[in-house]
């Protein structure tokens, strides 16, 4: 880190922003540096350029400024492949034009029309045709992503059987030809007027092309009693009910997004947009999208020139997600940054009760601000040299950064709305059109 930003200083006077990017010219090893290339010299003191291997985690309450001081500045600057969880579509509104002007192809997965009536799409079964794919294993992973959070621990038989049947149908779907090679075909088969008859016909006519595990699972389902079979089918149907709607299926039945671009690290930006009122009910859809892109980056044979940034706002809405948990330990070797953004630390603890500390330990940067009670301050004090009392004294425009192998930095936060580096790069946020520039609470 440049001597301009000594970590033993109790307070850095200038506004300061953490930016993803390449290391400064004079710095040969990954880590932290004063911003150099890509910035006008007059702005260099305002940014800390991060190019390390570790992931990032930001924790700050809702409406505390995560968008203006962390998300938008990075979407307005970072040139690598970027995949964004953008719950309300605000970040698309503000940064999509700027990303295009960087030379990126910009996509939005927007099933409910938060931006407009159009949407892009990605077929999750495309990931099951990648060089690193194993159809039987990956279909099971995809099925578990769909059902995560909907299972019951009281009677696991029904869940195990339902997941087994769903994964079997996904295996079969993955081996079919267009236009039936998609999740919708599997959902339709399991929702047809006579499911048992149709599955029996499928076994008779597709045995030679069907994965062996799928054949065994479907055959086992057909051989059990009618009462048990109807119970398993009802459980299975409940898992995909939200994904089988017309609006959702138009984002997953076909692909306008080429996974090869994600694998190669080409200049693409993908915004995953779900309205706030849909996130809980459609968390499975978010996980299906993410699992598809995660599988793509794990198919890499070499790292791309620029790391792929997964910028996951409102990560707490995902709940527990084993694939993401695994990627926290694996992704460094595949040229990936995960930037997880939570409203409070308890969201991370609840989602990953056994591994949340390990996940934080895999982060090169911890960022927090907006601490407004002693419980939050005490939780962070366990990670820092600063006391809970000192943390509570952070001003409204201040942040604390814990930098791997460097220590902690207390500093003011940049607001892109008022910083000249971002002038002309960003568009208005449609949710705040009636606010005057410079007024309070303009952005999240």
**pLDDT at residue number 380:** 84
**pLDDT at residue number 440:** 38
Token reading at 436: 């005057």
What pLDDT digit, counting tens, does each position of 410-434 carry? 888 889 998 888 999 999 998 776 5
φ, ψ of residue 318 in degrees (nearest 5): -75, -20
User: DSSP characters for 116-168?
Assistant: -S------GGGGGGSTT--HHHHHHHHHHHHHTT---SS-HHHHHHHHHHHHH
Most confident of 207-211, 217-221, 398-402, 419-423: 217-221
pLDDT confidence tier of residue 30, bands split at 50, 70 and 90? very low
- Residue 270 CB partners (closer than 8 Å, separation 6+): 82, 83, 84, 106, 107, 108, 109, 120, 257, 262, 293
What pLDDT digit, counting tens, does each position of 221-258 carry? 999 999 999 999 999 999 999 899 999 999 999 999 99
- Residue 247 CB partners (closer than 8 Å, separation 6+): 111, 112, 113
**pLDDT at residue number 11:** 46
Pick the CATH number of 3-122+255-432 from 2.40.10.120, 3.20.20.70, 3.40.50.300, 2.102.10.10: 3.40.50.300
Query: CB–CB of 269/107 below 8 Å?
Result: yes
- Vertex 108, ends 104 and 112: CA angle to 5°? 170
Separation of alpha carbons 319 and 59, rounded Å: 15
**pLDDT at residue number 3:** 29
Q: Given a cut of 70, is residue 141 above it in pLDDT?
A: yes
Separation of alpha carbons 210 and 173, rounded Å: 9
What pLDDT digit, counting tens, does each position of 258-287 carry? 999 999 999 999 999 998 889 888 989 999
Query: CB–CB of 335/300 below 8 Å?
Result: yes
Residue 363: closest CA among 73, 70, 50, 68: 50
* CB-facing half-sphere around the CA of 313: CA atoms within 13 A: 31
Q: Given a cut of 80, is residue 35 above it in pLDDT?
A: no
Query: CB–CB of 224/233 below 8 Å?
Result: no
- Residue 108 CB partners (closer than 8 Å, separation 6+): 89, 92, 96, 115, 119, 120, 270, 271, 273
**pLDDT at residue number 114:** 95
Q: What is the pTM of this model?
A: 0.90
Q: Percentages helix, strand, coil for the chain, rounded to the nearest 5?
A: 45, 15, 40
Q: Given a cut of 60, is residue 363 above it in pLDDT?
A: yes
pLDDT confidence tier of residue 397, bands split at 50, 70 and 90? confident
- Residue ranges of the domains in the chain? 3-122+255-432, 124-246
**pLDDT at residue number 261:** 98
Share of the chain above pLDDT 70, in %: 87
Q: Given a cut of 90, is residue 6 above it in pLDDT?
A: no
What pLDDT digit, counting tens, does each position of 89-111 carry? 999 999 999 999 999 999 999 99
φ, ψ of residue 44 in degrees (nearest 5): -60, -35
**Beta-bridge partners for 155:** none
- Residue 190 CB partners (closer than 8 Å, separation 6+): 165, 166, 169, 233, 236, 237, 240
φ, ψ of residue 114 in degrees (nearest 5): -65, -35
Averaged confidence pLDDT in the chain: 87
Strands 47-50 and 32-34: antiparallel
The CA-based dihedral angle spanning residues 161, 166, 171, 176, taken in that order and rounded to the nearest 10 degrees: 140
Residue spans of beta strands (DSSP E) within 10-86: 12-20, 32-34, 47-50, 55-59, 82-85
**pLDDT at residue number 21:** 66
Residue 242: closest CA among 233, 252, 232: 252
- Rounded to the nearest angstrom, the gap between the alpha carbon of residue 146 and the centroid of all alpha carbons in its chain is 15
């Amino acid at each position: 880190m440049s001597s301009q930003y000594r970590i033993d200083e109790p307070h850095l006077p200038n506004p300061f922003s953490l930016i993803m990017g390449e290391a400064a010219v004079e710095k040969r090893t990954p880590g932290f540096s004063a911003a150099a290339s890509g910035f006008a010299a007059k702005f260099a003191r305002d940014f800390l350029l991060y190019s390390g291997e570790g992931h990032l985690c930001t924790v700050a309450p809702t409406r505390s400024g995560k968008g203006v001081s962390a998300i938008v500045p990075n979407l307005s600057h970072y040139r690598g492949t970027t995949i964004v969880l953008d719950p309300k579509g605000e970040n698309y509104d503000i940064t999509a034009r700027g990303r295009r002007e960087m030379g990126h192809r910009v996509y939005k997965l927007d099933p409910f029309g938060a931006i407009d009536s159009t949407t892009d799409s990605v077929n999750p079964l495309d990931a099951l045709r990648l060089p690193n794919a194993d159809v039987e294993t990956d279909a099971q992973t995809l099925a578990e992503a769909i059902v995560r959070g909907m299972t019951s621990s009281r009677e696991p038989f029904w869940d195990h059987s339902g997941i087994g049947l769903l994964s079997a149908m996904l295996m079969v779907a993955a081996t079919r030809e267009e236009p039936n090679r998609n999740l919708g075909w599997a959902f339709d088969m399991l929702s047809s007027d006579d499911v048992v008859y149709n599955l029996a016909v499928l076994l008779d006519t597709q045995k030679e092309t069907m994965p062996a595990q799928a054949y065994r699972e479907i055959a086992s389902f057909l051989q059990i009693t009618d009462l048990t079979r109807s119970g398993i089918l009802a459980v299975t149907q409940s898992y995909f009910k939200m994904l089988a709607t017309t609006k959702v299926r138009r984002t997953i039945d076909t692909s306008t997004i080429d996974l090869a671009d994600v694998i190669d690290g080409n200049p693409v930006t993908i915004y995953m947009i779900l309205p706030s009122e849909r996130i809980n009910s459609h968390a499975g859809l978010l996980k299906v999208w993410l699992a598809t892109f995660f599988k793509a980056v794990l198919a890499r044979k070499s790292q791309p020139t620029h790391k792929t940034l997964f910028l996951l706002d409102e990560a707490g809405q995902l709940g527990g997600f084993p694939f993401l948990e695994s990627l926290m330990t694996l992704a460094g070797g595949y040229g990936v940054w995960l930037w997880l953004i939570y409203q409070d630390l308890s969201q991370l603890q609840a989602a990953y009760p056994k591994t949340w500390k390990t996940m934080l330990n895999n982060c090169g940067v911890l960022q927090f601000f907006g601490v407004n009670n002693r419980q939050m301050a005490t939780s962070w004090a366990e990670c820092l040299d600063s006391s809970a009392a000192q943390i509570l004294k952070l001003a409204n425009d201040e942040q604390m950064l814990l930098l791997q192998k460097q220590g902690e930095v207390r500093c003011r936060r940049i607001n892109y709305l008022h910083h000249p580096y971002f002038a002309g790069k960003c568009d208005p946020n449609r949710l705040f059109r009636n606010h005057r520039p410079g007024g309070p609470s303009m952005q999240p």
